[in-house]
């Protein structure tokens, strides 16, 4: 059973949750919402479940669209993690709750057996990760968001991922939060056709905890972001993690897909990669931030943007050659995967030289103290050296 590494933060109430959504200002969400709110796009959140009754999620969660054969009666969140991810994607902000980056999108909730699910009956009734991904693939949800991870390769999950890919789904997963401990490869982020997401701060610098390696594809805000403290859903705590970065990346894709409903998953992803903020060559992605920081506004503001061919995978090289760990601590379960020759090691999209230092795990850590966040827009809104393939 996986262990969730977390420490509750004091003095973090719902009243000041807005101060912890610095990325909405940095990403210029108000400008993006004039073009797209994610309306018409459904995001499958595969996580600890989703509490559809929070003020921010009322009317946003499509519980009845979860296939009954899979988990019709087991979408309740006993941890709080999945509910946070759903709010970061599509929360309305009502009642002092989190405002999602794509408030017009809808959430289809799926629960898998993750950290914090203690009740044996609930565990027994919760479907496997592979079964859930296949179920989500058979729905009309366009995006599958997975803010969890494990160091162990599972052929059943890999097969489910490939099945979802064949159904045209766009999948995002967090790369993990243990860079300062062991930095082993994290799945499902490392499976072919899953976009691995790292966490960055408001300056565009990778979080020290954010795992690195050549399976990191994109980066998004993941530090100083509010998260539900626990499953009582009474207050928010400041947190950090690649979980939040994954949810925000999924929301970014929803914004783009809503504005361009005729695009394929390849084109949505390709546009996010092409417009990502970076100051290194696109053909040499970073092991820390991948192709750079997501900037969906750069896609939405360009009415004539070329998303590339509908059937061309923008991560074809990575998906065809596989991945290998960037550290010597790769587990035996990952050693059989062929290497990918990505050698980028940039830790900041703003050009900083600062260094980054057995089971499904929720990739989120609650910060030790409540921080006052200064909004310093720029890193996620405008960055130099933008390139296209």
Q: Helix %, strand %, coil % for the chain, to 5? A: 25, 15, 55
d(CA 110, CA 43): 11
274 is catalytic: no
Least confident of 16-25, 26-35, 129-138, 323-332: 323-332
Three-state DSSP class for residue 148: strand
Residue-level pLDDT at 163: 98
Within 10 Å of residue 386's Cβ, how many Cβ atoms?
16
Q: Which residue has the higher pLDDT, 363 or 217?
A: 217
**How sure is the predictor about 20, in pLDDT bands with cuts at 50, 70 and 90?**
confident
Residue-level pLDDT at 356: 30
201 is catalytic: no
d(CA 196, CA 176): 9
Question: Could you read off the pLDDT of 322-366 as tens digits, one per residue?
Answer: 765 444 333 222 222 223 333 456 777 743 322 232 356 655 555
d(CA 183, CA 65): 37
Q: What predicted TM-score, i.e. pTM, was given to this entire model?
A: 0.85
Q: Which residue has the higher pLDDT, 376 or 284?
A: 284
Within 10 Å of residue 369's Cβ, how many Cβ atoms?
11
243 is catalytic: yes
Mean pLDDT, rounded, for 55-71: 89
Q: Which residue has the higher pLDDT, 183 or 313?
A: 313
Burial class (CB in 10 A: 0-12, 13-18, 19+), 93: middle
In the chain the domains, ranked by start, together with CATH numbers, are: 14-366 (3.40.50.200)
**How sure is the predictor about 88, in pLDDT bands with cuts at 50, 70 and 90?**
very high
User: What values do phi and psi take at 161, rounded to 5?
Assistant: -60, -45
* Contact call for residues 132 and 158 (beta carbons, < 8 A): no
Q: Mean pLDDT in the chain?
A: 83
Looking at the chain, the whole-number percentage of residues with pLDDT higher than 70 is: 79
Chain-centre distance for alpha carbon 165: 17
First-to-last alpha carbon distance for the chain, in angstroms, is 43
Q: Kindly name the residue from 48, 71, 77, 81 that is annotated as catalytic.
A: 81
pLDDT at 263 over 60: yes
Q: Kindly name the residue from 36, 147, 184, 243 that is annotated as catalytic.
A: 243
User: What values do phi and psi take at 200, rounded to 5?
Assistant: -130, 160
Residue-level pLDDT at 114: 86
């Amino acid at each position: 059973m996986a262990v969730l590494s977390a420490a509750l933060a004091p003095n973090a109430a719902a009243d000041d949750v807005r101060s912890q959504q610095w990325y909405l200002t940095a990403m210029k969400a108000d400008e993006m919402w004039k073009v797209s709110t994610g309306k018409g796009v459904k995001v499958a959140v595969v996580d600890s479940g989703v509490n559809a009754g929070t003020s921010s999620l009322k009317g946003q969660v499509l519980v009845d669209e979860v296939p009954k054969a899979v988990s019709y009666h087991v979408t309740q969140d006993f941890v709080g993690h999945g509910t946070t991810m759903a709010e970061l994607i599509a929360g309305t902000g009502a009642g002092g709750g989190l405002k999602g980056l794509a408030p017009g999108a809808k959430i289809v909730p799926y629960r898998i057996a993750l950290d914090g699910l203690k009740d044996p009956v609930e565990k027994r009734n919760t479907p496997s990760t592979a079964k859930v991904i296949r179920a989500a693939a058979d729905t009309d949800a366009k995006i599958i968001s997975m803010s969890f991870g494990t160091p162990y390769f599972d052929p059943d999950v890999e097969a489910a991922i490939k099945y979802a890919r064949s159904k045209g789904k766009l999948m995002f997963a967090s790369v993990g939060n243990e860079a300062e401990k062991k930095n082993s490869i994290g799945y499902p982020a490392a499976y072919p056709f899953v976009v691995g997401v790292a966490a960055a701060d408001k300056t565009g610098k990778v979080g020290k905890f954010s795992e690195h390696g050549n399976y990191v594809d994109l980066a998004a805000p993941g530090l100083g972001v509010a998260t539900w403290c626990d499953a009582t859903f009474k207050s928010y705590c400041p947190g950090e993690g690649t979980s939040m970065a994954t949810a925000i990346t999924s929301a970014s894709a929803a914004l783009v897909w809503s504005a361009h409903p005729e695009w394929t998953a390849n084109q949505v992803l390709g546009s996010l990669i092409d417009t990502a903020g970076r100051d290194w060559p696109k053909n040499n992605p970073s092991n820390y931030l991948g192709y750079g920081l997501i900037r969906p506004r750069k896609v939405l503001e360009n009415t004539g943007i070329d998303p590339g061919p509908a059937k061309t995978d923008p991560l074809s090289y990575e998906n065809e050659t596989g991945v290998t760990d960037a550290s010597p601590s790769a587990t035996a379960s990952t050693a059989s995967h062929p290497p990918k020759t990505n050698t980028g090691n940039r830790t900041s999209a703003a050009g900083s030289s600062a260094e980054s230092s057995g089971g499904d795990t929720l990739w989120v850590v609650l910060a030790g103290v409540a921080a006052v966040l200064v909004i310093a827009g720029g890193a996620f809104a405008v960055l130099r050296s933008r390139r296209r393939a």
